[in-house]
Amino acid sequence: MTPTRRIFAAVLGSLALHLSPLVRGGCGLDIKLEMPEIEFEVTQFEPVELDEELKGAPPPEPQPEPEVPPPMGPDKPPEGEGPKPEEKEPPKPKPKFGEKTSRVAELGPGSSNFFMLLSAKKVSGLPFAEAIVEIMSPLPDFDFIVTGGGFHALKDFNYIVIASPNLRDLTQTFLAVEYRLSQAEVQAGLDRAAAKEGLKIDWEVRDGRTMGNPRPIANPDGDDDPRWFVFLDEDVAVYVREEFLPAITTGPDESKGNTAGNFVANLTKLRTFAAREPRAGLQLVLKDIRASIKLKKEPPFPIPNNLELMAEAASSPELVIKSEYLDEVEAVQMQRQWSEDLPAFIDDKVPFYARFMVRSFYDATEIAREEKALNLRADFTKDQAKFILEQIAEGARRMLRRTPEQIEAARKQREEMWAARKNGKLSPSEALAPKDPGNSGKPPDAPDAKAPEAPKDGGPAPGIPSDAPPALPLPPPAPSP
C-alpha cells in the first residue's frame, strides 16, 4: 500500500470510531465505551522519482518512434510523385542593335531594289541631322515636294519611305510619308509645289481616298510623270504610279504575294515596322545589286548582291552593315581583303589629311562572317558620324548628277523658308501663301500690291465713314526717366 492510501485508511478508521457511539442501536448492547483519545500525526512524504531509484542501472533502450506518413492532399503530393517545380531559365540577353533583319523591303513595290526608311522624328534633334537631309536632297522628288512645298523634311514628317527600281528614273520612284500636319495643309503644300513647276493637281475622291495627279497646265494630256498623290489612312500619303491605283483601292490580297495592295496596307502600319528596331534612325536595303549595275571591268573587290545598312538615332551612333554575296567564296575573299589588303590601301592611297579619320573608322569596326554574309559593326563619335553621312551625301549627289551649286541653292532656299515659318511656329501656308489672292508669287515680307491711297482734301481715310468723329491727336511721349 502506498503512503497516501495508508493515510486515507487511517482517517476513515478514526472517523468510524468517533461516530459509532452516536449511532443508536449501533450494536445489540447499550454499552458506553469510552474511547481513548487517539492523535494522528500526518507526515508529508516527498515523492521519489523513478530515475533516482534506478540510479546506477543501465538506461533502457529507446523505443522507436512510429513512422507518420506525410499528409496527403491536392497541394502536397507524395514525395517523388507529381510535377516537378519549373526551373527558372536565366534571363535572355538583350538583342544587339541591328541584330534583327530589316523589313523595309515590305514597304515598297516588289519590283524595287532600293528601299529606305527614315525615322525623321528620331533624327531631327541629332547634331548631324542636316547631313541626313543632304543625303535625300539630290532626289528629284525631294526637291519637287519638300523644297517646292515649303516643308521641313525632319520637322513636318514622322517617317519617310523611298523605294525604286531605278533612282535615276524619276517616274519609277515610289514615295510615302507619315505627316504631322493636317491633310489640308499637306494638299496646299503640294499645290504650291506643282504651281512652281507649271503643274496643276485636280483632286478627286475614289473609294473614300483623296488623290490627284500633277499635270502640265499648258498641256494636260502631255503628262510625262504617271504618278498620283494618294492620301491613305493613319496620316499617310503616297506618290505612286497610276497602275498601282486599282490595287490600292481594292485593298490587299495575301494570296497574290507582295502585291501593291499588300505593301500599301503595310504603309498604314509604319510605326510597327519602325518599332522592329526602335533605336534605328535610318534603314537602307539594296537588293539584286549585281543584276542592277553594269561594270565596265572586274572590280578590285567582290560586290555584294544584297546590302542592308542600319544607323542608330544617337549622338554617338552605332552603325551596322550586313552584306550578302553570291556564294561563300566571295564572302571569304572579302573578309581576307578587309583584314589584310584594306589597311595597306589606307596607308598608301588615302591622303594624309584624311588618313587618321579613315584609319579610326577601320580600327573601330568589327567584322564577322556567317557563311556567305559579312556583318560590320562600329560605334562612331559625333564627328565621325557626320563625316560618313557627308560622304554618303556626296555619293548620292554624283549618282543623281546634281552639281554642288544646285545642292547649295536648294539648301539656302530650305533655310529661308524655315526662317519664314519662324522655326515651325507657323505652318507652310501661313508663312508662304500670299495673303491676297491677287498677289500670287509675292514674297512673304513684300508690301501689298495696292496700298490704300492717302486721304485727299483732309477727308477721312478709306474705310472710315464720313460722319465719324475726328481722330484725337496722340499724347506727347512721356519724358524719359
Per-residue pLDDT tens over the stretch 144-188: 999 999 999 999 999 999 999 887 788 889 999 999 999 999 999
Q: Which one is predicted more confidently, 102 or 60? A: 102
pLDDT at residue 115 above 80? yes
| Strand pairing report for 157-164 and 114-119 | antiparallel
pLDDT at residue 82 above 50? yes
Q: Are 139 and 109 in contact (CB under 8 A)?
A: no
Residue 57 resides in a domain: no
pLDDT category of residue 298 using cuts at 50, 70 and 90: confident
Average pLDDT over residues 262-285: 85
Residue 125 resides in a domain: yes
Residue 148 resides in a domain: yes
Give the mean pLDDT of the chain: 77
How far is the C-alpha of 364 from the C-alpha of 380, rounded, in Å?
Answer: 8
Lookup result for grid cell 539656302? 412
Tens digits of residue pLDDT in 8-52: 555 455 555 444 444 444 444 344 444 445 444 444 445 445 444
pTM: 0.69
Q: What is the 3-state secondary structure (H, E, C) of 88-135?
A: CCCCCCCCCCCCCCCCHHHHCCCCCCEEEEEEHHHHCCCCCHHHHHHH
Q: Which one is predicted more confidently, 426 or 110? A: 426
Q: What are residue 272's phi and psi, to 5 degrees? A: -65, -40
Note the pLDDT of residue 261.
58
Residue 442 resides in a domain: no
Lookup result for grid cell 560586290? 303
Residue 372 resides in a domain: yes
In total, how many domains does the chain have?
1
pLDDT at residue 345 above 70? yes
Q: What is the dihedral of CA 40, 41, 46, 50, to 10 degrees?
A: -30
Residue 383 resides in a domain: yes
Residue 129 resides in a domain: yes
Note the pLDDT of residue 443.
43
Domain membership of residue 194 as a residue range: 104-293+300-419
Note the pLDDT of residue 162.
92
> Residues with Cβ < 8 Å from 97, sequence gap 6 or more?
277, 279, 280, 310, 312, 318, 320
How far is the C-alpha of 311 from the C-alpha of 323, rounded, in Å?
Answer: 15
Q: Are 360 and 384 in contact (CB under 8 A)?
A: yes
pLDDT at residue 470 above 50? no
pLDDT category of residue 364 using cuts at 50, 70 and 90: confident
Residue 70 resides in a domain: no
